[in-house]
Amino acid sequence: MNGAHALIRSLVTSGVDVCFANPGTSEMHFVAALDGVPEMRAVLVLFEGVATGAADGYARMAERPAATLLHLGPGLGNGVANLHNARRAGSPVVNVIGDHATYHAKYDAPLQSDIGAIAGAVSGWVRHSALTSEVGADAAAAVAAAREGQVATLVLPADVSWEPDGGVVADPVPAAPRAAADPDAVGAAAAALRSGEPCILLVGGDATSADGLAAADRIAAATGATVLAETFPTRLERGAGVAPVERVAYQVDIAVRQLAGAQHVVLVGARSPVGFFAYPGKPSDLVPPGAHVHTVAAREGAAAALDELADLVAPGTTARVAALARPELPTGALTVASAAAVVGALLPEGAIVVDEAVTSGFGLPGDTAGAPRHDWLTLTGGAIGWGLPAATGAAVACPDRPVWALQADGSAMYTISALWTHAREGLDVTTVLYNNNAYAILRGELQQVGAAGFVQHDGKRAKALLDLGGPDLDFVSIARGMGVPGVRVTTAEEMADALRRASAEPGPHLVEVMVPPLVA
Amino acid sequence: MNGAHALIRSLVTSGVDVCFANPGTSEMHFVAALDGVPEMRAVLVLFEGVATGAADGYARMAERPAATLLHLGPGLGNGVANLHNARRAGSPVVNVIGDHATYHAKYDAPLQSDIGAIAGAVSGWVRHSALTSEVGADAAAAVAAAREGQVATLVLPADVSWEPDGGVVADPVPAAPRAAADPDAVGAAAAALRSGEPCILLVGGDATSADGLAAADRIAAATGATVLAETFPTRLERGAGVAPVERVAYQVDIAVRQLAGAQHVVLVGARSPVGFFAYPGKPSDLVPPGAHVHTVAAREGAAAALDELADLVAPGTTARVAALARPELPTGALTVASAAAVVGALLPEGAIVVDEAVTSGFGLPGDTAGAPRHDWLTLTGGAIGWGLPAATGAAVACPDRPVWALQADGSAMYTISALWTHAREGLDVTTVLYNNNAYAILRGELQQVGAAGFVQHDGKRAKALLDLGGPDLDFVSIARGMGVPGVRVTTAEEMADALRRASAEPGPHLVEVMVPPLVA
């Protein structure tokens, strides 16, 4: 068995049976081996950033890693941004990076680069596979490392792949036992929650599951603590039947108000709250001055820790759950607000929402809070161009669930070729493409960072960099070019019709929602 | 003067007056300062890989660096692939990477990552700017470093930008004196060339200019040496009036035949020839066994060294030049061969050809060899997705010259949003988009690396990863969605008509050329 075959078989044996691939010459033996391991599903993408974003979306929903197949350093480079998001999400991902044959490296051929340096910036685990006899074991180790909630990168030289004999299929590496929450930390948090002093219970990681949120809600009900979820959860369960939770706002001023007055901040699966960016004269550390921070659990095991804590401080308390309550379908010309109401009115039961709507998503959390139960995936690392790829992966992970990609225009253009994979794989992804003809968030940020005061003369040249007009993007035409049917809508009624049709038909659709920018 | 203003003014003072930008929050002060420095032209791109590829294309034609403006580690990551190409081209590029404020870094906010690690993999020079008072000097140093023929990356924390006072405009840093060719090396090469033993004169770097090629041709005429150019030149001057040169083939078997029998390989601006990839049973080092390798000059200064060498071994010899000789316009259904003839028949005087045609470009070198004088830019680093961005930069550098982007379909999809910038800037770029519905090169590579023999069963799953059909891409629709008018052609006559119309009208055009894949 050659190395590539042993590698793929070992991935499958360890439970990795989807690979988002954009191969090149150094990966040809991997490609050739695919027909010998039919359990491995290879999904072709047209850009590596789609592969890595898809692996992230897949992992969030499947709760196990997919593999990516990328071509040397530049291929990995193209995948960096979405690996960054995966790293911040704690998503398990196994990258397989094809490299030159070991003996070819010394010639510094044109595609040679320092793969390890790039991999190290986004991976928790990096290994260069050196022997065909070991590549199966390397794959199993990569999967085990990924399952700890990180990006694992295996560099695979071409000759390690192609060596015809000596490949060995490896057994899965047993998962490291998950550390239980530290009883002292749980006890200290319980004491804080019982103290009667104002407490914020900040949840993240796997505590934004329905179970985790129920435990958090019980604690709040029993102790008077305020529950907040981290600003950008990896996967937030919400909607009817789930305990509702507010998220820490992206905007520093609002976040400061949400946290104001707390004497204790109890972190369960979340990191201590900080500003997404620094802004002159505004705090970076959002913990109110003088408040005590109690860290109870890391990203994984957070829901279990919350259960323990709830059993201590809220025995017999029942969690509230959101009632089914949808907004009325609005009418007339679309605004960000009315577009949110249309989504809230029509979001299907069991939907997976991939949220990269940025400023056009203002209003969505409120208008979907009472929609049928669904999952909400967010841009954990802030690297835009994640939505359409992540929707790809979520749809592959959950073929029986509708995926709604709520997608801003500027961000969409980073990885727009994901639409082609939606079409090729027949994925049930409805892309709601908010076209506001601007990098509207940057118009706001220009103010927030105090840069607007520095703009000189008429500011025309600065404004031109925040503007997507001239020419205006036509996403229906772009989508058609990649095999995804689309329609442009300008009224709430048209939007509702288009979403109903998209939901009724299998396969991908794009609804281009023309909205005025939230920040003019 | 704030830091951002001092930075931009210093760039301009050092001769950098174009910036390909995709800014985010941390770059808002840079954006705000643009109206105060009207000499700096900021060109908005919708993806960072377009910015870096454009800077590469710009540098190759302008012979001076442009700046890029990128957003933290993920933005740099998106630019890595084309920075890799720029690095291999020896192109001067100045990256400005916005970062979090210095005091914000310790909070490890979501967008934080190891920018230095990623930058190091593609840059010859990296500096983290730390003080507003120094940022102007840092910019001048970055330009000086870039001018040595490398990528220089300056990391710019937001607070260094926004500090309102203390920015100082820096004077240009004098260029390092260029090392003259080592007289001993020139002498040894001259001796080899005069020895009567078979010699290959392999030229690269700035020796693929018309002057360099003339000197090389004189040497060949006087000594009987065979001149070859490196496989992927940064910028090759060619066509009527220029000394013709053959390039070392990408295919190892052909390259081995080109070099066979040489007892001396004289390198002037080129690196010793190696296989682009390793292939089982084929050599990595393409120098014939036992041949002596003589290195005369590095990439820069190679043309000058060739002149010295020609004066030694070929005094009084005149270089041949290619005659004006175009192919007849073919007729009928398009093939790769007839499409090349159409290009050869119509390529305008002074054109800049950006060649990422991959397998669909087979035939182009021959059919354009006698076209009016033009420049040919190639994929130096092998990281695809370079063509449309590089065409952007070349057109910005040379607004009075027509740019023809000869572009393969699969590669085009990596950075397709470059078309939008072609439209926004009104660039005279004609994109000849070869649509063969496949990663045809990989079909060939599957054979070349011996992987085809490992394909099991019907090989359907392997083949699916090399196939761009289902759905078929429609580049006319995609281009229309970004404001570039396009037309699909299936016959040579249609192609000729479309190219004539594109040449007659200002602004960007796309001609989608439907060709059967070279490798079925």
Going edge to edge, which strands form the sheet with A125-128? A41-44, A18-21, A66-71, A93-99, A151-157, A125-128
pLDDT at B519: 79
Distance CA A90, CA A146 (A): 9
Per this entry, what is the length of chain A? 520
CB contact under 8 A, A465 and B284: no
pLDDT at B84: 98
- Residue in chain B lying closest to A280 (CA): B159
Q: Which of B195, B331, B204 is nearest to B267 (CA)?
A: B204
User: Which residues, at least 6 apart from A79, have a Cβ–Cβ distance to it below 8 Å?
Assistant: A48, A49, A51, A52, A68, A70, A95, B77
Q: What are A64-121's pLDDT values in tens digits?
A: 999 999 999 999 999 999 999 999 999 999 999 999 999 999 999 999 999 999 999 9
pLDDT at B478: 98
CB contact under 8 A, A278 and B103: yes
DSSP-based three-state secondary structure for B317: coil
Distance CA A372, CA B496 (A): 57
pLDDT at A169: 98
- Concatenating the DSSP letter of every residue in A468-514 gives --SSPP-HHHHHHHTT--EEEE-BHHHHHHHHHHHHHSSS-EEEEEE
The pLDDT-based confidence of A291 (bands split at 50, 70, 90) is very high
pLDDT at B520: 73
- Concatenating the DSSP letter of every residue in A38-79 gives TTSEEEE-SSHHHHHHHHHHHHHHHSSPEEEEEEHHHHHHHH
Q: What are A326-349's pLDDT values in tens digits?
A: 999 999 999 999 999 999 999 999
Average pLDDT over residues A142-150: 97
pLDDT at A82: 98
Listed as ranges, residues in chain B with pLDDT below 70 are none
pLDDT at B358: 95
In a mutational test of the A interface, the residue from B71, B449, B472, B488 whose CB has the highest number of chain A CBs within 10 Å is B449
Retrieve residue A146's tokens: 């990924």
For A70, B86, B286, B356, the CA distances from A25, given in Å and listed in that order, are 11, 21, 19, 17
First to last CA, chain B: 61
In a mutational test of the A interface, the residue from B1, B25, B70 whose CB has the highest number of chain A CBs within 10 Å is B25
Helices vs strands, H then E, count in chain A: 20, 18
Tell me the domain boundaries of chain B. Answer: 3-162, 183-313, 336-514
For A353, A464, B39, B45, B157, the CA distances from B42, given in Å and listed in that order, are 36, 9, 10, 10, 20
Residue A121 has its nearest CB partner, among B113, B284, B472, at: B113
- Residue in chain A lying closest to B2 (CA): A454
Q: Which of B161, B8, B146, B176 is nearest to B83 (CA)?
A: B146
Retrieve residue A95's tokens: 């990258």
CB contact under 8 A, A481 and B476: yes
Residues of chain B with Cβ-Cβ distance to A476 below 8 Å are 481
In this structure, the number of other CB atoms found within 10 A of the CB of residue A516 comes to 15
Residue A471 has its nearest CB partner, among B121, B271, B482, at: B482
In a mutational test of the A interface, the residue from B47, B150, B287 whose CB has the highest number of chain A CBs within 10 Å is B47
Average pLDDT over residues A242-258: 97
Q: Which of B474, B203, B345, B84 is nearest to A482 (CA)?
A: B474
Peptide bond into A471 cis (omega under 30): yes
- How many A/B residue pairs have CB atoms within 8 Å? 355
Average pLDDT over residues A243-266: 97
Using a pLDDT cut of 70, give the percent of chain A over it. 100
User: How large is the ipTM?
Assistant: 0.98
Query: Pairing mode, if any, of strands A292-297 and B486-489?
Result: unpaired
Residues of chain B with Cβ-Cβ distance to A114 below 8 Å are 120-121
Retrieve residue A275's tokens: 């500003």
- Residue in chain A lying closest to B38 (CA): A461
CATH number of B3-162: 3.40.50.970
Alpha helices (H) along B293-417? 302-313, 336-346, 364-368, 387-397, 409-412
For A403, A500, A511, B140, the CA distances from A489, given in Å and listed in that order, are 20, 13, 7, 49
pLDDT at A180: 85
Instruction: Give me the half-sphere count of Cα atoms (radius 13 Å) on the Cβ side of residue B441.
Output: 21
Q: Which amino acid is at A371?
A: A
CB contact under 8 A, B32 and A88: no
For A510, B308, B482, B497, the CA distances from A416, given in Å and listed in that order, are 12, 51, 12, 31
Q: What are A30-55's pLDDT values in tens digits?
A: 999 999 999 999 999 999 999 999 99
Residue A449 has its nearest CB partner, among B28, B38, B380, at: B28
pTM of this prediction? 0.98
pLDDT at B457: 85
| Burial class of A391 by CB neighbour count within 10 A (0 to 12, 13 to 18, 19+) | buried
Superfamily of domain B183-313: TPP-binding domain (3.40.50.1220)
First to last CA, chain A: 61
CB contact under 8 A, A46 and B413: yes
Residues of chain B with Cβ-Cβ distance to A162 below 8 Å are 280, 449-451
pLDDT at B175: 86
Rounded to a whole number of angstroms, the distance from the CA of B328 to the nearest CA of chain A is 33
pLDDT for residue A520 is more than 80:
no
Architecture of domain A336-514 in CATH?
A: 3-Layer(aba) Sandwich (3.40)
Q: What are B297-346's pLDDT values in tens digits?
A: 999 999 999 999 999 999 999 999 999 999 999 999 999 999 999 999 99
Same fold, A3-162 and A336-514: yes
